[in-house]
Amino acid sequence: MTSILMNSIHEVIDQYINYLIVEKGLADATIDSYSSDLKKFVIFLKSCRINLIAESDTTVILKYLILLRNEGLSTRSRARHLVTLRGFFKFLIQEKVLKKDPTRIVDLPKTGIKLPDVLSIEEIVTILNTPDTSKPRGVRDVAMIELIYAAGLRVSELIHVKLQDINLEMGFVRTFGKGSKERIVPIGSQAKEKINDYVTHARSILLKNHVSKFMFIARAGKPMTRQGFWKLLKKYAKQAGINKKITPHSFRHSFASHLLEGGADLRAVQMMLGHVDISTTQIYTHVARDHLKKLHEQFHPRG
């Protein structure tokens, strides 16, 4: 995959505009609005210290749309910006500059900016209050939901969390994302409390006489499966009266959306999601950990 440096992005935009003129035959006014939108997007990327167009992932697009909203742009204007970006990134994929389109799953409904299936804070709280915590499985389920939302984990990361991966005293979870890349993510006070309740009062009951290195276990000491957790979420969402299509990934999207809308730093959110390459030594520095922890406590609804 070829990455376009910021000092040549204008050349790529010129190529895209030429493509719109020659092959699409768009009107001059439309071309001018596309050019203006892309110029504003490049200024935004530079303000975020983004030097490669390949770093423009879904989180970046969402942050940009939130910026436009905060600047007072109407829903129609923000929709136009999104259409511009979709066309531009589609062109980059067509020209084999990029492999993935960061705008593909971003939606702009009439009510504002959100990712598909993003849950409101109130909906997440309602789901968390649904499991029967008088039973060990209910305690486990609450801990799992708190963790996937608190740390923005993928479901595959959640079910593979081991006992040693969570530091309740420091308030961090260690996880391994795509390509086995390790990252450290703050988990907040609510998740710490629920995980501690689960480990202290419920996990040994669920284990019975079995032994497991995994944090969240199902029957016979086996780890929870992706399908098993998904079924639990759908059950609790139905019981909570939430009609949205909810998947485990909805909580990851909600994690990013709620932090960004709360004013969190884009780079820090990317780091927590594992969207950017950060070396292990950088992640393990006390400065980085303290910064992420304070940011999580400040901006995460359940931090």
- Mean pLDDT, the chain, whole residue set: 83
Q: What percent of the chain has pLDDT over 70?
A: 87
Residue 134 CB-half CA count within 13 A: 0
- Give dist(CA 270, CA 291) in Å, integer: 14
pLDDT of the residue at 286: 35
- Give dist(CA 49, CA 154) in Å, integer: 26
pLDDT in tens, 71-92: 988 888 888 898 899 999 999 8
Q: Point out the catalytic residue in the list 69, 137, 249, 267.
A: 249
Residue, of 20 and 162, whose pLDDT is higher: 162
Domain 6-94 top-level CATH class? mainly alpha
pLDDT in tens, 253-300: 888 888 877 777 777 777 787 764 433 223 323 334 555 677 677 778
Cα separation values, 96 from 4, 13, 22, 76, 212, Å: 11, 15, 20, 30, 45
pLDDT at 150 over 80: yes
- Give dist(CA 173, CA 102) in Å, integer: 27
Question: In the chain, which segments carry CATH 1.10.443.10?
Answer: 121-299
**In the numeric block, which tokens belong to residue 22?**
């020659």
Residue, of 245 and 89, whose pLDDT is higher: 89
Residue, of 186 and 289, whose pLDDT is higher: 186
The answer to whether residue 226 is catalytic is no
The answer to whether residue 275 is catalytic is yes
Residue, of 143 and 267, whose pLDDT is higher: 143
pLDDT in tens, 30-56: 888 889 999 999 999 889 888 777 788
Question: In the chain, which segments carry CATH 1.10.150?
Answer: 6-94
pLDDT at 179 over 90: no
CA dihedral 36→107→292→141, nearest 10 degrees, is 180
pLDDT of the residue at 85: 93
The answer to whether residue 154 is catalytic is yes
The answer to whether residue 291 is catalytic is no
Q: Point out the catalytic residue in the list 81, 252, 296, 300.
A: 252
Q: Point out the catalytic residue in the list 253, 275, 296, 302.
A: 275
In CATH terms, the fold of domain 121-299 is hpI Integrase; Chain A (1.10.443)
List of residues 6+ apart from 1 with CB closer than 8 A: 54, 96, 97, 98, 99
Q: Point out the catalytic residue in the list 46, 135, 178, 213.
A: 178
- Reported as a pLDDT band with limits 50, 70 and 90, residue 149 is very high
**3-state SS, one letter per residue, for the chain:** CCCCEHHHHHHHHHHHHHHHHHHHCCCHHHHHHHHHHHHHHHHHHHHCCCCEHHHCCHHHHHHHHHHHHHCCCCHHHHHHHHHHHHHHHHHHHHCCCCCCCCCCCCECCCCCCECCCCCCHHHHHHHHCCCCCCCHHHHHHHHHHHHHHHHCCCHHHHHCCEHHHEECCCCEEEEECHHHCEEEEECHHHHHHHHHHHHHHHHHHHHCCCCCCECCECHHHCECCHHHHHHHHHHHHHHCCCCCCCCHHHHHHHHHHHHHHCCCCHHHHHHHHCCCCCCHHHHHCHHHHHHHHHHHHHHCCCC
Q: Point out the catalytic residue in the list 208, 244, 284, 294.
A: 284
Q: Point out the catalytic residue in the list 78, 154, 160, 296.
A: 154
- Give dist(CA 63, CA 37) in Å, integer: 15
